[in-house]
């Protein structure tokens, strides 16, 4: 993938949080921020991440996995394909694309479940983290 160099002003609180996560995971703040941007706008790289690897994640990283969603363009495309499928207007190629996106979504749900399990094992109140209940 080609890279572009940009200067980006971010609120100090966001940068400090990225630095804290970077320290805990022995990474650079830049790589932490790039991962966050990739989750929102980028490629679906989480398929390479296996649930067992989450055991080594810091709590903040686990929380990021819990709140991670399918990147916006992929989520939009999946919805489009599902609508086409319901209308019976989906091609064979689109079925393959939809199955790939669904597999990635399922993998993300598996990672989210494992992250929640790890947080619970570490003594976190999952209901409070997810803002469930009162």
Domain extent listing, the chain:
56-129
What's this model's pTM, rounded to 2 decimal places? 0.66
DSSP assignment string, 6-22: ------HHHHHHHHHHH
Q: What is the pLDDT of residues 69-126, one digit of tens each?
A: 777 788 899 999 999 999 999 999 999 999 999 998 999 899 999 999 999 999 999 8
Alpha helix (H) residue ranges in 26-91? 29-41, 59-67, 72-86
Mean pLDDT for 31-60 is 73
User: How far is Cα 124 from Cα 116, in angstroms, rounded to an integer?
Assistant: 9
Res. 45: pLDDT tops 60: no
**Could you read off the pLDDT of 16-36 as tens digits, one per residue?**
988 887 787 677 888 878 877
Is the distance from CB of 40 to CB of 72 less than 8 angstroms?
A: yes
């Amino acid at each position: 993938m080609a890279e572009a160099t940009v200067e980006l002003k971010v609120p100090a609180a966001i940068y400090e949080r990225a630095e804290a996560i970077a320290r805990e995971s022995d990474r650079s703040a830049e790589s932490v921020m790039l991962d966050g941007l990739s989750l929102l706008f980028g490629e679906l790289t989480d398929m390479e991440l296996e649930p067992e690897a989450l055991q080594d994640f810091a709590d903040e990283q686990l929380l990021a996995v819990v709140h991670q969603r399918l990147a916006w363009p992929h989520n939009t495309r999946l919805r489009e394909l599902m609508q086409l499928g319901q209308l019976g207007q989906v091609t064979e190629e689109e079925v393959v694309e939809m199955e790939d996106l669904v597999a990635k979504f399922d993998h993300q749900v598996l990672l989210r479940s494992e992250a929640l399990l790890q947080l619970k094992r570490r003594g976190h109140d999952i209901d409070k983290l997810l803002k469930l209940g009162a």
